[in-house]
Amino acid sequence: MLSGVAGFASFFFSLLAFLYITDLDGQIVASIVAGMFCLMVAYIASERPNGQSARALTALGDRLLAVEQGDFTSPTPRIVRDSLPKLAAAVDGLFAEVRSSIENAHALGMYDPVTSLPNRLHFRSEADKMIGTAPEGVMSAMLFVDLDRFKSVNDSLGHARGDQLLIMVANRLRVVVTAEICDTSDRRPLLARLAGDEFTILIPRISSAADAERVARRIALAIGEPFELHGHSIDIGASVGVAINPDHGNSIETLMRAADIAMYRAKEAGGSQYCLFSAALAAEHQVKVDTEIALREAVQRGEFVLALQPQLSLVTGEITGAEALLRWNHPREGLRQPNSFIPIAESTGIIAEIGEWVIVEAATMLADWQRDGVARRLAFNVSPRQLDRADFFPMLRAAFAARNVPLSLIELEFTESAAMECSEAVLKEIAALRDDGATIAIDDFGTGYSNIARLRAMPLDRVKLDPSLIADIHESEQARVVVQAVIQLVKGVGAEIVAEAVEHVAQADILRAMGCDTVQGFIFAHPMYEDDYLAWVRNAEAGDRSFA
């Protein structure tokens, strides 16, 4: 009996929250709520529970709680209809009312059919009114909520399950917002689903930014808890951006933009957290936007150039190849190193176009060298974002095939995280490239998270140690022990070792003694443009230099 009543009460209050936030027809809400309340009180007061009615109440509780899954259509269970017919009729009537209210609202094109929350259009017009009519000096807050891993749920469990998850997320948001914001008409928040996995909340009256931050923190915590969906425990998390009116804007556009920027920052910081917009964030964002535009133009204007850094065998001293490193000849700022623009290119996605330019440039160089009788391997870096593009592998193969360059002349460097996280389909493509002669390397190994089983299964030829591992091997016994262990591990999976950023003879000597195969570093050569590189190679091979 008690659990039945508890279930009933819990449904009752979440329904209240639902109606309160979605703000369906006020009169219907009032009559439904009053009717249900009377029914519940009258029932509990007049009925003495027996076994049958207790079971019926439990069944009713389960039926009511199915609302959390979006079920407004199933009929009341038979046991309820048989033993508590009045209650069953009242509940069926209630559902019919709710359904028709929702349908009316949808018919007006104002509500999202999945979650029954206001949609983007409704949100914009309502929020605009709320901001426009707020009394002078009143602060309000705009919150942007974006789920962190929704896409993978949609991809793995299908869209129907994805929709159910969105309903559950919307319900949690309703509960948090209702619990956190007091129940007065001028504080009534507006919660909406903008699109996909994006939700937004306007809180029309806050006393300080801390008020909004508290709600944002609670939302990140609530959505961070796993969701139980048909036997799956699903961990999605949410990133929340917060903007304050008037500090960060006083129109719906400026506030939404500010909250969006703050949300992206929360996501970049790992997700499952909130971020408050600030002037510093705005400035950083501007740099990012400007750089993105300049990068787009740079691709078209041909402002990129590849510098080549030789790699040498520690055993024979021979030049085994080179790594192509990107440089940007910025029209005003001069030469820019990749660390100043690659992260922005990756976060904006423009790395895909830049990466394509690198591949075509590498193919062109190798074709030129072939014509001059030089067959030397060239390695280039591949960003994880490039692998997101379905046409990456066909584009790469076409670039080399069109210039008659065999894949045995190229080496692809993937970051450790890309190697560990890429899909089976991508792994197959990498394996196919390797079967056709390409060399596969993992770059900057030792700073990410490696799964040893994955490392063993990976189509792999070489592992490049992260510079931080070897920086002080000539000075620190502990560093030597760690590097020796890593070398052993990499050799164990059958790959060669490349050490980069080698700056001291002592480092090279230790690495050679430890069984490292290849080195790349300022001690032997800095990255050079093509002509200098070719001249350097000619000199080295003419015996002017000795490295072994």
Footprint of ligand C2E on this chain (CB under 6 A)? Answer: 309, 325-326, 337-339, 342, 351, 355, 358, 380-381, 383, 413, 443-444, 500-503, 520-522, 527
C-alpha span between 501 and 446 (Å, rounded): 14
Q: Taking the complex as a whole, how short is the minimal distance between the CB of residue 256 and ligand C2E, in angstroms?
A: 32
The alpha carbon torsion through 364, 367, 369, 374 (nearest 10 deg) reads 140
The answer to whether 242 and 209 are in contact (CB under 8 A) is yes
Query: Which CB sits closer to Mg ion, 263 or 499?
Result: 499
Q: Compute the least distance from the CB of residue 345 to ligand C2E, in Å.
A: 8
Number of H helices, E strands in the chain: 22, 16
Which of ligand C2E, Mg ion, none sits in contact with 350, Cβ below 5 to 8 A by type? none
Work out what residue 383 binds among ligand C2E, Mg ion, none; the CB cut-off runs from 5 to 8 Å by kind: ligand C2E
d(CA 402, CA 445): 33
Secondary structure element (H or E) that encloses residue 194, with its range: strand 190-195
* Nearest Cα to Cα of residue 63 among 53, 74, 54: 74
| Binding site partner of 361, from ligand C2E, Mg ion, none, Cβ cut-off 5-8 A by kind | none
Compute the least distance from the CB of residue 548 to ligand C2E, in Å: 18
- The values of phi and psi at residue 515, to 5°, are 95, 15
Instruction: Determine the Cα–Cα distance for residues 92 and 462; give it in Å rounded to an integer.
Output: 67
Our CB check for ligand C2E shows the closer of 154 and 450 to be 450
Query: Cα(17)–Cα(188) distance, rounded to whole angstroms?
Result: 11
Q: Which residues bind Mg ion (CB under 5 A)?
A: 381, 413, 443-444
Q: Which one of ligand C2E, Mg ion, none interacts with residue 276, CB within 5 to 8 A by kind?
A: none
Of 102 and 482, nearer to Mg ion (C-beta) is: 482
By beta-carbon proximity to ligand C2E, the closer residue of 117 and 358 is 358
CA distances from 106 to 197, 224, 506 (A): 19, 30, 73
Q: Which is nearer to Mg ion, 319 or 382 (CB)?
A: 382
Torsion from C-alpha of 267, 271, 277, 278, nearest 10 degrees: -80
Tokens matching residue 164: 């159910």
In angstroms, rounded to a whole number, what is the distance separating the alpha carbons of residues 515 and 94? 76
Nearest to 412 by CA among 388, 431, 391: 431
501 binds, among Mg ion, ligand C2E, none (CB under 5 to 8 A by kind): ligand C2E
Rounded to a whole number of angstroms, the minimum distance from the CB of residue 326 to ligand C2E is 4
Residue 87 vs 410, nearer CB to ligand C2E: 410
Degrees, nearest 5: CA angle 85-91-97:
135
Nearer to ligand C2E, 88 or 345 (CB): 345
**Whole-angstrom Cα distance, residue 86 to residue 239?**
45
Is the CB of 223 or the CB of 382 nearer to Mg ion?
Answer: 382
- The site partner of 311 among ligand C2E, Mg ion, none (C-beta below 5 to 8 Å per kind) is none
292 close to 344: Cβ distance less than 8 angstroms: yes
Shortest distance (Å) from residue 117 CB to ligand C2E: 40
For residues 219 and 470, which CB has a smaller minimum distance to ligand C2E in the complex?
A: 470
Provide the minimum distance between the beta carbon of 304 and Mg ion in the complex, in angstroms, as a whole number: 16
Among ligand C2E, Mg ion, none, partner that 338 touches (CB below 5 to 8 angstroms by kind) = ligand C2E
Give the Cβ contact number of residue 369 at 10 Å.
18
Strand-pair partners of 441: 413, 462
Secondary structure of residue 121 in the 3-state scheme: helix
Pick what 286 binds: ligand C2E, Mg ion, none; C-beta below 5 to 8 Å, kind-dependent: none
Q: Name which of 87 and 362 has its Cβ closer to ligand C2E.
A: 362
- The residue among 215, 212, 224 whose CA lies nearest residue 271 is 224
CB of 454 to ligand C2E, least distance (A): 21
Least distance from C-beta 471 to ligand C2E, angstroms?
A: 9
Pairing of strands 439-445, 496-500: unpaired
Minimum distance from residue 469 beta carbon to ligand C2E (Å): 12
Q: Which does 60 bind (CB under 5 to 8 A by kind): ligand C2E, Mg ion, none?
A: none
CB of 395 to ligand C2E, least distance (A): 15
Residue 224 contact, options Mg ion, ligand C2E, none, Cβ 5-8 Å cut-off depending on partner type: none
